[in-house]
Amino acid sequence: MNHPLAVYARKYVIGQEANGEQVLLQLIPAVHQCNVQRVAKYRSLPIETRKTKFGDLLKDLPDRIMASVKSWTKNRCGIVSFEMPLDVYKDFSLDVFPNDENHWAIRAIKNRKTTFKNDGEMMDFIRSTSSSTAGLFNVYSQSQENGCTSTYFIIIVPMDIPSHEPMHSSVV
């Protein structure tokens, strides 16, 4: 089966939990197989039609990624964060300016992991990463006086969520 996303499973060290224990993640690469007939048909279209179709696909990508994540995690996902060296990754990171301390980025940093409160939060994460399931973030919270002091690798992962905290299934 082809998976449209890269998925992570425990195996390689990339960070540490707050208690000092090492956390292990392994990249399982996504496999892509082109449909030869679809490619041939696409190539035969006028360039303006191709641009329009490609633009439509890009607009739909965040929704497709969210649906794939929900399917892959059986609608039980969250995010985990790992602090990274600021001086090494700052230029490759996305800047996030949460408007309150209950934002997904702040919760992920404070708790090292959190669940999305609703589909809107998950979509905000996916759009913040330019349609990805992981990203490097410089998080500028309102409570920080001197700006961002660390870069964080934040990634969507499957989670065991207690039955009293189900992932919301509303559509954005």
Query: pLDDT digit string (tens) for 55-109?
Result: 888 899 999 999 999 998 889 899 999 988 766 666 778 888 888 889 999 999 9
Q: How confident is the model at residue 167, as a pLDDT?
A: 42
Residue 11 lies in a domain: no
Residue 20, phi then psi, degrees to nearest 5: 90, -5
Residue 158 lies in a domain: yes
- Please give the residue range of the domain that contains residue 62: 33-172
Residue 63 lies in a domain: yes
Going by C-beta distance under 8 Å and a sequence separation of 6 or more, which residues neighbour residue 145?
none
Q: How confident is the model at residue 47, as a pLDDT?
A: 92
Give the confidence band of 138 by pLDDT, cuts at 50, 70, 90.
confident
CB 68 within 8 A of CB 3: yes
Residue 151 lies in a domain: yes
CB 154 within 8 A of CB 15: no
- Of 84-88, 124-128, 150-154, where does the model show the most confidence? 124-128
Residue 152 lies in a domain: yes
Q: Looking at the predicted structure, is the pLDDT value of residue 139 above 50?
A: yes
Residue 51 lies in a domain: yes
Number of domains in the chain: 1
How far does Cα 82 stand from its chain's mean position?
13
pTM comes to 0.68
Q: How confident is the model at residue 48, as a pLDDT?
A: 94
* pLDDT 10s digits, 1-42: 334 444 444 334 344 454 555 555 555 555 667 778 888 888
Q: Which of 18, 11, 163 is nearest to 80 (CA)?
A: 18
* pLDDT 10s digits, 33-58: 777 888 888 889 999 998 998 888 88
Residue 125 lies in a domain: yes
Residue 10 lies in a domain: no
